[in-house]
Amino acid sequence: MGLEPISRAVLVVDVEKSSERHDREKVELREALYQVLHSGLEAAGLPAERYRLDDLGDGVLAVVDSEVLPLLDPLLEVAVDGLARFNARRDPVSWLRLRFGVHFGLIARDAHGWVGDDVTTAFRIVNGEGVKSVLRAAARAQSVVVVSDAVYRSVVRPGYRGLRAASYRQIHDGGRQVWVRVPGYAEPPVPAEDARPPAPVALAAEQAAKSISISTANGNVFTADTIGHVDARTGLGGAP
């Protein structure tokens, strides 16, 4: 009998430079990773029977019986906030820095785990060299969020729940078009060779921002030509 595919949202979380940590530190960081992930799942109203978590050693695969929107908001918003609280107690050189990858589609599970093109896509978008280079370039960041082109077009671009398409940039990574966002940055520091023009909605938002002389962020006042450099470590789904 063939496998019966089911429609699921897929989240892959990967720890940056996990191989460079010693074993005791890996244990501490993995515990923190699960704490922020479970906090996000709880905030999204997803009970244990609605998701399955598979440990990857240096990350987690979460397959969720849900639409993809709750993964972006509030799940990742809460997870990013929890990550910031954990890192606040650590020296920046020892921060837990995460790559979050979001996709959805038809997948199946056999005796060995999840299988399907959409699972493969979720792994590849989060592990692409272009995405890794974005996080490396974002020295002040604690995470990077990457979504597939399908997620961007169906959920992010329409701006559901206040998601800001203007904070994403498209890159070509491993033969795929993906969209990246760096919480705490008005726009991700995309390496020049990977950068693509912003989507029309993002461009329109930027042009609108330039039409004003004063903007605010985290209670502080900035001129429009400097707002792009604000380090406002907030979550997804609303404020940059």
pLDDT in tens, 85-100: 999 999 999 999 999 9
| Other Cβ atoms closer than 10 A to 26 | 16
- Greater confidence, 13 or 2? 13
Q: What percent of the chain has pLDDT over 70?
A: 79
Specify the DSSP class assigned to residue 199. P
Which residue is listed with tokens 């701006």? Answer: 159
Alpha-carbon span 134 to 141, nearest angstrom = 10
Q: Alpha helices, DSSP H only, in the chain?
A: 23-43, 69-70, 76-87, 117-126, 129-137, 149-151, 200-210
pTM higher than 0.85, yes or no? no
What phi and psi, each to the nearest 5 degrees, are found at residue 2? -75, 160
Rounded mean pLDDT, 159-175:
95
Percent of the chain whose predicted confidence (pLDDT) is above 90: 76
